[in-house]
Amino acid sequence: MSDPAELRGVQRDRWEEAAPGWEQRAATVSAAGAPVADWLVNAAQLSPGSRVLEVAAGLGDVGLQAAEIVGPEGEVVITDGAEAMVAAASRRVDESGAPGVSVVRMEAEWLDAETASFDAVLSRWGYMLVVDPEAALREARRVLRPGGRIAIAAWRSIDQNPWMEISRNEFESRGLTTPPAPDAPDPFRFGLDGKIAEVLLAAGFVDVRVESVELVWRLASLDDWWEHMRSTSSILGRAARELTPAQHYELREVLDGSYSEFLQPDGSLELPGSTWVACADA
């Protein structure tokens, strides 16, 4: 699919569909993603009163963490392109009672925000999923004040992330999903060494710093992992939900065998992952 508008529509539909699963699995995502949220919020060098924009925020984990630092005199705007994700994040923000936090639907490539109006832009696992990430990062730079800071995360290459590599290989080898086209929206699109710095520099950012963060997905069991993947993966989730019973049992048997190397003595699962984290100045 080469028409960008069509691709945006397809991506949007996938995320609208995945939103209920993200809401159900919010605790698992927050726990695995906590070291990444910590890195991003620290890198943004926030202080009480800062104005923060979170892009492609999902349930708004990172924005809610930023809100604890910027306090009631600051402002956090949590945004996402999917209506259903925005509704889920709004419920979460209401529950948190955090002051100064709003949730708005916003497309990363067309930020509905004033030029030079934010001190920081934060995004965990968002920009590699946008159809034109360079355009989206230029938008982030536009809304940052001069010297404002961006901090983002994107997965390292899939071979560093067996939690996804194992499932994706099995789905693709059965023709249930197709490999992503080069430079198409994909969790591992910025995986190669140097790619995340290259795209930040191309968008006009300076003083780019990139590190990696190791994390662990903790699931109660192999069944819990399957449920998590089925509920949250924008690509594999739909394919998993459409399996016939026979396909389901065959695939589960193979996947359970492959993931069993990560089983703990109590039957729980600890799946390692590795992500790039990067910050840069506008």
Ligand X SMILES: C[S@@+](CC[C@H](N)C(=O)[O-])C[C@H]1O[C@@H](n2cnc3c(N)ncnc32)[C@H](O)[C@@H]1O
When the beta carbons of 59 and 76 are compared against ligand X, the nearer one is 59
Candidates 197, 216, 191, 190; CA nearest to 273 is 216
Q: How far is the CB of 69 from ligand X (least distance, A)?
A: 18
Q: How far is the CB of 18 from ligand X (least distance, A)?
A: 7
When the beta carbons of 30 and 169 are compared against ligand X, the nearer one is 30
Q: Which residue is nearest to ligand X (CB)?
A: 58
Q: How far is the CB of 60 from ligand X (least distance, A)?
A: 8
In single-letter form, the type of residue at position 235 comes to I
> Are the CB atoms for 159 and 129 separated by under 8 Å?
no
> Are the CB atoms for 79 and 57 separated by under 8 Å?
yes
Q: How far is the CB of 238 from ligand X (least distance, A)?
A: 15
Q: How far is the CB of 109 from ligand X (least distance, A)?
A: 6
d(CA 144, CA 205): 11
When the beta carbons of 130 and 210 are compared against ligand X, the nearer one is 130
When the beta carbons of 118 and 147 are compared against ligand X, the nearer one is 118
d(CA 160, CA 272): 8
Residues making contact with ligand X (CB under 6 A): 11, 15, 29, 33, 56-59, 61, 80-82, 85, 107-109, 124-126, 129-130
When the beta carbons of 107 and 227 are compared against ligand X, the nearer one is 107
Q: How far is the CB of 121 from ligand X (least distance, A)?
A: 12
When the beta carbons of 129 and 150 are compared against ligand X, the nearer one is 129
